[in-house]
Every structure is written in structure tokens, then in C-alpha cells.
Amino acid sequence: MGVNRLDLSNGWYINSNQSNATMNFSNHTKVNDYIYVRVCASAVAFMILTFFNIIINWTILRQERLRNHARFVLVFHLLLSALIYFAVCWGFYLQIYLNLRPTASTCAALVTVLITSASNILLTLTVMAVDRYWAICFPMRYNNLCARQWPWLLGLLTWGIASIIPLSLFPWTERRDSGLGERKVCGREELKKGELHKILLITICTVIILYSYARIFLEGRRLGVLNRRNKVGCRTITLHGLQLAVYILPNFMNFFLHILTKYGHIHRDTKDLFAVVNFAFFSIAQCIAPVVYGLRKEEILEHLQQDSLCSPCPLKNVVEWTVRLSQPSLHSHSRERRLTSQTLLSLEPPRSPA
């Protein structure tokens, strides 16, 4: 009897181990699939943004009128920050997928650049909203305060502010390894540090952006520019709102999923699935930024049409197709769009009566 009980016990123990091993293998495979989706999404976003950075940022740097204009300098900083973010994001998730196990200093550098570039995107969007608010609601004061170098200095300031959070979370005096022993995995747990600081930054920037655009909308209504007949102006405001949403919403959604998982309202697997879908969808959606903030600007389009960089037929066709997609009624509403851009989006007032 004792032998039989021991055999039954051993059999149950073996089956239990096999079941746990199968479950662990399934979970590991699922995690690898999620990481692979993040690698692909960040790679696609990086390649798209590389194309638009070459086209738009090169045009801004070449033209003196554009590189001295605060609106276009901020577009330059926004596209550059997004490019750096997705480039580092691609490398970060690729090293997780390949299980490379970098050193502690390398991991800290990756996470620092990743959080800094992500924070700088949000800060640049905030500065862009405040810049438009001052230009539209206080044009005389804005023109007096403008200087040629201040937009570039403001961009450096946003990079400095954006680096505060990661540098405080990853002090360079700390080292997880000293060259001895096994290196640890540089995983997504490193990105989850300082969630309260990140949410606080996102909330403050969101409030400033909403206030600025609300004042711009009210000023546009007061001037009679934003009305039901002005479809181009309303479409511009809508596109800017949607573009801001794809940058801000993912952070709040991730924080909301974290809270639900923490208090046991959803399972960890469900949270991971929603998180990877959230990342993939909004990563691709954020690639619309060059179209919304760059190719819809008449000044940039004017120089792109004359630029030799876009002279090769395939490249020029891609740019023209993108512009037609974002502005289907470019020619039929040219006068209305010009009035809207001069009133709401341009620093310079119209020099001749409409």
C-alpha cells in the first residue's frame, strides 16, 4: 500500500511538473510574440519617420525663412524627437527579443534616451500649442518677443527638461553588474519606473495644450475665421486634435491598464495583450505627424516642389500622393486655406486685403 501511494504521489508530481512546464513554455512563447510585434511596429514607424525627416527637416534647414520661423523649428524638433524615439525603441525591443543581455550602463543609456525622447515629444507639442496661442491671441507681444535663435534655444531647453525624469530614475552611480557574475535582462520593467512622475508630466502638458487650443478656437470664432463654412479651418483643428490624441492617449491607457491589473480587475495576460495592441496601433498613428504638422504647410510644400531632393520620380510621386491624401481639395479651396493659415497658423499677417 505504501509503495502504491508513493507511486501515485510521484505520478501526480510528474504530471504537475509537466503541466507547469507546458504553461511556462506557452507564456514564454506569448511574451516573445508580443515583443516581436513591438519590434515590427517600431521598425515600421522608424522607417516612415526617416523618410519624412529627410524630406521635411532637410527643407527646413536649407531655407533661411523656415529655419528662422518658430513654427517650423518646432516641427523640426518634433520630427527629430520622434525619429530618435522609434530608433531607440526598435533597438531596445530587438535586444529583448534576441536576449542579448547588455551591461547595466548600456541598458541605462537605452532607457534614458528612450524616456527622454518620449518626454521631449510631449514637451515639444506643448510648446507648439503655447506658441500658436501667443501668436494668435497676442500677436503684437509675440512679434516683439521673437528672435531668430530663440526657437532653437527653446528646443534645447525642452531636451534638458525631458532628461530630468530618466536621469533621476537611473543615477549613473548605480550599477547592477560590476563585470562579475551574470548580466541581467534589460526588459520592459526598466521602463515602468517613475510612473507617477510620467503621469504628472503628461497631465500638466495635456492641461496646457487643451487650454491653448481652447483659447485659439475661441479667438478664431471671435475673428469669424472658424465657422461652418470654413471647412478647411475646421479640418485643420480636427487633425491637430487627433494627432495630439494619438500622442497623449497611449500613456493614459497604459496607466489605466496598470491600475486595473494592480487591483485585480483584469488578468496580466489581458493587460499585456491590450498593451501591445495599444503600442502597435498608436506607433503607426503617430507617423501621421509629418503630414499634419509638415506637409500641410504651404511654405514647406512650396519649397518641396522646387527642391532637387524630391526630383527623383518615385520620391516625388510619394510626396505628391501624401499631400493629395491630406488635402483632397487643395486647389478648389486655396484662397480659404490661405486665409486660415495666415490667420491661425502663420506669424506674419496678410500684407494685402483678402
pLDDT digits (tens, 9 = 90+) for 199-209: 888 899 999 99
Q: What would the pLDDT profile of 105-145 be if each residue is shown by its tens digit? A: 888 889 999 999 999 999 999 998 898 888 888 888 777 66
Of residues 170, 158, 160, the one with CA closest to residue 125: 158
Residue ranges in the chain whose pLDDT is less than 70? 1-28, 144-149, 170-183, 225-234, 291-298, 301, 303-354
What pLDDT is attached to residue 1?
46
What pLDDT is attached to residue 88?
95
Set out the domains of the chain in order of their start, with CATH numbers: 31-172+191-345 (1.20.1070.10)
Write out the three cell numbers for 131: 506658441
What pLDDT is attached to residue 218?
85
| Length of the chain measured in residues | 354
Quickly list H helices, 163-297: 164-169, 195-223, 231-262, 268-285, 289-290
From residue 170, alpha-carbon distances to 88, 111, 116, 182, 332 in Å are 17, 9, 12, 20, 54
